[in-house]
Amino acid sequence: MLGLAGLARLFVSLDSAILVLALPAIAADFHTSVTALTQLGSAVILGTVAGVPIAMQADRVGRRRLLILAVAAFSLAHLASAW
């Protein structure tokens, strides 16, 4: 369980790091302003915060099951976005 929690934290950290590294390329390719890049970063944070109400259901569903579902959903979403 601890390994899965660490994997989940690693995914979130990697997601943030990838966004930070990709922002200069996004700005150059799409000719975006600093405001648009800031909004992109804020959208990622809001997406993370949107998971809090779901995480509050862990006592009902079970922490392990919810964590496995969340990591699987996160992995599938990133795999789909790669295509």
Report pLDDT digits (tens) over 22-71. Answer: 888 888 998 988 888 888 888 877 877 877 787 788 878 888 888 888 88
Cα–Cα nearest to 72, from 3, 6, 11: 11
Q: Into how many domains does the chain fold? A: 1
In whole angstroms, give the CA distance from residue 79 to residue 65. Answer: 21
Domain holding 66, by residue range, is 2-82
| pLDDT of amino acid 54 | 78
